[in-house]
Structure 1
Amino acid sequence: MILLLDAGNTRIKWRLVAAAAPADTTLAEGDLEHAGAGGLAGVVRAHPGIVRIVGSNVAGAALGEVLQNAVRGLLPPIEWLLPGESCAGVRNGYLDPAQLGADRWAALIGARRLHTGPCLVVCAGTATTLNLMNADGLFEGGLILPGMDLMLRALAGNTAQLPLAEAAFTPVPRTTAEAIVSGCLHAQAGAVERMFERIAGQPDALCLLSGGGAGQFADLLRVPLRRVDNLVLDGLAIFAHNGPQATSMG
């Protein structure tokens, strides 16, 4: 078995897949808090038969080292995905391919397996990322903006009279809490719709929406849409089975 890790800014998501293809066969999955990252050893011990760990880490070197130490002596070093020029039918159009976030690269790889037409790949988490990929598999570029929770906390933490709001979306808000939440949701949905306009006229254009925050604004989107649970783990599975060997660090 292969253990896949998506070490994000808030949580560490993991998934077990078979060591042989197909890459979309999930055997088990779960998540860990950053403070409990050492618990990865327990995940490994609970699932005998793991032979590799392949991961994406955007949470920093310190967390990567904690995860590496947790499995030291149990398995070979974690193989961390590093963005490159191409992988599994996806070509990296960044001016410096190495600067692309590993999670965005993995999500693009996962998206390409699901949809071979032009697509906007959206991952909504601590940050919301929007990445354009054409029908030839070229990642053309994209956006990064604060996720919903970051937007809400920024308003609460940097203004004198605005609270950390909790409310439902309202088309025409009549309370401060509704105004804050609805404004942030409009910002998320509006960014997606504006970016999708770049491919809207192309045949089979689709928005692939993933991430823990996706459900907050999915119903507001007026674009062809497909929800996907975790495109980063999907892409890591494809990479582990088909891509070049990942890089081991630590």
Structure 2
Amino acid sequence: MNSLLAIDAGNTRTKWAVLHGETGAVLAHGVLSDDTIPTAWQHCDRVAVANVAGKAQHVFLEHQLRTLGVLVRWHTSTVQAAGLVNGYTQPEQLGVDRWASMVAAWQYYQRSCLVVNAGTALTVDMIEQTAAGQARFIGGIIMPGMRLMQTSIGNAAAGIVQGSGVFQDFPLNTQDAVYSGSLYALSGAVDNLLQVLGEHCGQIVPCMLSGGDATALLPLLHKHVLAREYHLEQNLVLQGLWYLEREYS
């Protein structure tokens, strides 16, 4: 079977999926947790990697993938791909995880949309569909994610003990206050960019969310923001790699 192994090497986890080469259907997926090569990798025809975890992870994966004996493509952000134009000042400096996510989101919506990755960092990126029908990445933000926010305030403020809180509309203990404040900050950033993009496009725009903390963000967005369209897709980078690979076929 024609199949693609897609690997998303992030700062916290390395996720992977085996995708059907023709349809993009997910045949197997998981998180790489040790040096053992998953059995599902053995039957892939080619590999696509998005690595934002640095040189050490590149070397590790390169060593692991060499044993497969198939083509391995290390993707980077480009000026354009899969119908999307990259408007970054220096396109190659855009994180490839953000680029792959936007490519996948554009293919899903085919209209102006917001793309959110809620991981170690929160990235919120804006895609505009022009009057001519062209899709263009027109800007985005990067800010600390949930864990970074909670850790930073715990490290900087005396008397705040690191701990796990839960979201409350009216927090009455420190852990809940820190957790709820962090979640409000992240959801507020998403909502603000939704408003900015919507005003720019002259219409309400949908929002695609991915990343480990997306499930924590989504209920708050649904709870406090009306008339928005949200879609949760945990394999967004991996799906984007499948679309990027089609550029070479």
- The Cα offsets for residues 192-230 of structure 1, whole Å up to 9 and x where unpaired, read as 011111122434510111111101121111232111122
Which residue matches 2:13?
11
- The Cα offsets for residues 72-106 of structure 1, whole Å up to 9 and x where unpaired, read as 23223531111010000110000110110010000
Contact 1:14 1:31 in 2 (8 A): yes
- After superposition, the CA RMSD in angstroms is 1.5
User: Structure 2 residue aligned with 1:121, among 115, 118, 132?
Assistant: 115
- The Cα offsets for residues 18-76 of structure 1, whole Å up to 9 and x where unpaired, read as 23x112x110000013xx2x32xx22x44442111101000001111101101223223
**Offset, 1:151:** 0.8
2-structure distance, mates of 1:199, 1:6: 27
- The Cα offsets for residues 126-170 of structure 1, whole Å up to 9 and x where unpaired, read as 111000001231000100111101111111222221122322211
User: Structure 1 residue aligned with 2:173, among 169, 172, 175?
Assistant: 175
User: Structure 2 residue aligned with 1:239, among 224, 229, 244?
Assistant: 244
1-structure distance, mates of 2:16, 2:86: 25
Matches within 5 A, 1:87-126: 87-126=81-120
Contact 1:124 1:213 in 2 (8 A): yes
Count of aligned pairs? 236
- The Cα offsets for residues 155-194 of structure 1, whole Å up to 9 and x where unpaired, read as 1222221122322211122211121111101100000011
Contact 1:119 1:205 in 2 (8 A): yes
Which residue matches 1:248?
none
User: Structure 1 residue aligned with 2:230, among 205, 225, 233?
Assistant: 225
Which residue matches 1:63?
57
Aligned-partner residue type, residue 233 of structure 1? L
Aligned-partner residue type, residue 6 of structure 2? L
Gaps of at least 5 residues in structure 2 are: none
2-structure distance, mates of 1:234, 1:56: 11
1-structure distance, mates of 2:99, 2:172: 41
Contact 1:208 1:227 in 2 (8 A): yes
TM-score, normalisation: structure 1? 0.89
* Structure having greater relative contact order (Cα 8 Å, sep ≥ 6): 1
Contact 1:7 1:59 in 2 (8 A): yes
Gaps of at least 5 residues in structure 1 are: 246-250
